[in-house]
Amino acid sequence: MQKVAIVTDSIACLTRELVEQYGIGIVPLNFYFGDKGYKDWVDITPTEAYELFLKDPESFKSSAPSPEGFLEAFRELGNQTKDILCVTLSAKISTTYDVACVAKEQIRTELPKTFIEVLDSETVTAAEGFVALAAARAAEEGKSLAEVVEAAEEMRDKITFLALLDTIRHVYRTGRIPKIAAQAGSMLNIRPILTSSLGLIRFIGAVRSRERGIERLLKIMRDKVGQSPVHVAVMHAYAPDEAERLKERVSSEFNCAEIWVTEMSPLMGYATGTGTLALAFYKEG
């Protein structure tokens, strides 16, 4: 039995294969379409969620998480191990970290012999996923909770997230720009490039064409990793064919030690819009 179990939220965009391989507990976050609520990756796939989104973007709403999902994950894993590390998306973007901490306190009397640590990944999407994976891989090696936390923190410091949006229309949902500015930018076919920094999503540029945007992403990645072995997650919001093409290009141009494709959680995609392509990566060493 592993000494440490890992829990993360559905924003981490980990593939089913990785979740099963490392036994990672996934807490689904919630969203609403109209009056109906959904659990991310449980009640509905990302593809199905994006199809709803395209029907009526204004009816798609995110929902504050509740402690119950974390309590369920802690109960399930608490019966299998004595220590749990829970990795959440950035506390500056969501209340998920705070909710996980509440759940940790609520379950203390129920699982008195289980020690739970909650870690703010300070990022989102598969960048958060790589932080959880670093923890899971350390746990698989039999390391202690302190060593697992250290592995996650080291990954947090070196992971990079980049995203190319196909439209600026929905970015007002991030709170970064006014709705009217997003609508005006959409009319001009402006495609923003985003990154995560210090726990926040930030604009780092804009392009007028998808091709130029992809070139910009790859240049930023090349400047950061050079020819070093690199671990990469390619993400998309309702653009699987383009994601596969981007994966093939990254594989051919970089020294990939690991590369996988995943769908962006619709809870991120509702603010980026469909057609978004994104990368999360880090170099070894």
Whole-number Å distance between alpha carbons of 96 and 273: 22
Could you report the per-residue pLDDT of 237-267, keeping only the tens digit for each?
999 999 999 999 999 999 999 999 999 999 9
Q: CA 220, 226, 227 angle in degrees (round to 5)?
A: 145
* CATH architecture group of domain 4-29+65-157: 3-Layer(aba) Sandwich (3.40)
* Residue 169 reports pLDDT greater than 80: no
Would you call 235 helix, strand, or coil by DSSP?
Answer: strand
Residue of 203 and 69 predicted with greater confidence? 69
Q: Give me the residue spans of the domains in the chain.
A: 4-29+65-157, 160-283
Minimum mean pLDDT range among 5-14, 66-75, 199-208, 216-225: 199-208
Contact 117, 131 (CB under 8 A): no
- DSSP H or E run through 78: helix 67-78
* CA distance readout (Å), 131 to 34, 45, 199: 33, 23, 13
Question: What topology is assigned to 160-283 in CATH?
Answer: Hypothetical Protein Tm841; Chain: A;domain 3 (3.30.1180)
* Residue 272 reports pLDDT greater than 70: yes
User: What is the pLDDT, as a whole number, of residue 172?
Assistant: 47
User: What is the pLDDT, as a whole number, of residue 174?
Assistant: 55
Could you report the per-residue pLDDT of 184-197, keeping only the tens digit for each?
445 457 888 999 99
Percent of the chain having pLDDT more than 90?
Answer: 78
Residue of 173 and 245 predicted with greater confidence? 245
User: What is the pLDDT, as a whole number, of residue 185?
Assistant: 46
User: What is the pLDDT, as a whole number, of residue 178?
Assistant: 43
256 strand-pairing partners = 230
Mean of pLDDT over the chain: 91
Could you report the per-residue pLDDT of 64-75, keeping only the tens digit for each?
788 999 999 999
pTM of the model: 0.94
278 strand-pairing partners = 163, 235
User: What is the pLDDT, as a whole number, of residue 119?
Assistant: 98
Would you call 229 helix, strand, or coil by DSSP?
Answer: coil
What is the pLDDT averaged over residues 85-99?
A: 96
